[in-house]
Every structure is written in C-alpha cells, then in structure tokens.
Amino acid sequence: MNREIVRFIQNRLNEEGFNLACDGIAGPKTMEALRSLAVIGEHWTRRECLAGYLQMLMGKISNPVVINGRWTDETDAMYRKLKFHYDSISGNASGPLKWPSQSEDELYKFYGKVGQHQVRLHLPYPHVLAWNPKKVVNSYSCHEKVHDSLERVLHRVLEHYGYDRIQELNLDKWGGCLNVRRVRQGSRYSTHSWGIAVDYDPSHNQLDWGRDKAVFAQPEYDKWWEIWTDEGWTSLGLAKNYDWMHIQAAAI
Ligand SMILES: [Zn+2]
C-alpha cells in the first residue's frame, strides 16, 4: 500500500474529527477509524477499507460511486483526482507560481543538474505520441518541482474541455518533455533538459510557424493558455510568436 495514499486518507479522517498520526501506515488506529464508518463493510480487509473510503470521498465530489472496496487501476486515478480536489480547496495549489528565468545559471540554481530530479507524472487523461498516435501515453517524466503544477494544469484542462474536446483540439498529442539536449543553433541546454518544458501538438504548431499558421494561436485555445499562465508557465508562442508547441516553467 502506497504511504502517500494512506497519509491522504489519514488527513481526511482527521478532518472528520479523528486524531490520527499522519504517518502513512494503516495501523490499528487508522483501521479502527475506518471501520467505524457506516459505508465500510464489516468483514473487509485493510485494502478494501482504504479503497472503500476513497470511493466514498469520490462520491461526495462527483457522481455517485459504487462503494465496494475493490481496488483497481481506477482507484489510483480516483486518488489522484481526490488529491487534486483537496489540494485545490485547501489552498495548497495556489498560484501563480514564480519560475526562474531561462538563463542557464538560474536554471541550474533552481532546478539543479540537467536530467536530474525527475519524477513520473500520471496523466489525468491519456495522451498519445504526436508522431505515432497509436501509442498511448499514460505518464511521463518531468522535474519534481514542476510535477504538481503540471498536474493541476492538466486537471483543469480536462475539467474545462472534457476528453472528447481535448481529442478534437489535439491537446492530447504529446510531443515530449524531458530530453537532455542543446538548443538548436546554440550551446546552451534546452529547457527540455531539465524536464521543465512540454511540447503539445507539434505537427500543427511547428517551430518556425507564427500565429497565422499555428493552430494554438486560435481562439479555441484561449482557455488552454489561461490555465498555463495561471500557473506561471511561459508559452513561446504567446511570448515570441514561434514554437507554439512549447510551454516551459521558466521565464524569458
Ligand atoms: Zn519544446
């Protein structure tokens, strides 16, 4: 059992009046608290109790959810939605964030060495590889310092557009994040080298295209850009009118 999930559950239980140590361990006190709740089945295992509690929380913030204690892949996705929801209402997710400038010195100071401190971002909706749309991407690597911000962005994109519209607008066409390399025609590292830049829909937003050609310059994408800029990210398209595919957690 993932400690992070157990800690999340302990925090929620404490908000309901329990007084548990938030240590991420589903020990006797945590289990006693869970079992005292009416929705938890009498003979459920530890794992079923935890899954059941997440299902109950999910039912409170969305459509009714079956509370059966079954732990599936969807339960993990459910946890991430819940975490996003509770972070948002508790103010943990407040923005806008201040990212460093893209000078190499600043980037080293803030993010450390290139290619380091990477974590996996589990996506709230599936992406596909831009150059091979048959290949589904459910997670990608990014720098630990941008992880939560990226996650909030994508949750908000999903909330605003919905998955069907995301696909129509090609917001699921992923062009890469972490990639340790130098910038074209230069010796400095690309912001991709730190896993703090993401490319979306490169084929309709090519590097040297301006707003006359780049699809992301069209008004359907206003909200997309609002969401990114709320989190302090920089779009090269908005700022410089080229490379509209590229969004980075560094100012220019
Ligand atoms: Zn890029």
What averages of pLDDT result for each successive group of 10 residues across the chain (252 residues)? 89 94 95 95 95 95 89 84 76 65 94 96 96 96 94 93 97 97 87 98 97 95 93 92 96 91
CA of 122 to the centre of ligand 1 (A): 20
CA of 67 to the centre of ligand 1 (A): 43
What is the separation, in whole angstroms, between the first and last Cα of the chain? Answer: 42
From 23, 29, 17, 33, select the one nearest 3 (Cα to Cα).
Answer: 23
Distances 250 to 92, 101, 223 between C-alpha atoms, Å: 21, 5, 20
Torsion of CA 175, 179, 183, 187, to 10 degrees: 180
CA of 210 to the centre of ligand 1 (A): 15
pLDDT at residue 44, rounded to an integer: 96
Indicate whether this model's pTM tops 0.85: no
CA of 239 to the centre of ligand 1 (A): 14
Rounded to whole angstroms, the Cα distance separating 130 from 190 reads 20
Query: SS3 of 85, please?
Result: helix
pLDDT at residue 96, rounded to an integer: 52
Rounded to whole angstroms, the Cα distance separating 208 from 199 reads 14
CA of 231 to the centre of ligand 1 (A): 18
CA of 191 to the centre of ligand 1 (A): 8
CA of 145 to the centre of ligand 1 (A): 18
pLDDT at residue 79, rounded to an integer: 87
CA of 146 to the centre of ligand 1 (A): 15
CA of 192 to the centre of ligand 1 (A): 6
pLDDT at residue 102, rounded to an integer: 93
DSSP code, position 23? S
pLDDT at residue 1, rounded to an integer: 65
pLDDT at residue 63, rounded to an integer: 81
- Kindly list the structural domains of the chain, giving each domain's residue range(s) and its CATH number in brackets, ordered by start: 3-90 (no CATH), 104-248 (3.30.1380)
b/e map 90-100, b = 16+ CB within 10 Å? eeebeeebebb
CA of 198 to the centre of ligand 1 (A): 6
CA of 183 to the centre of ligand 1 (A): 10
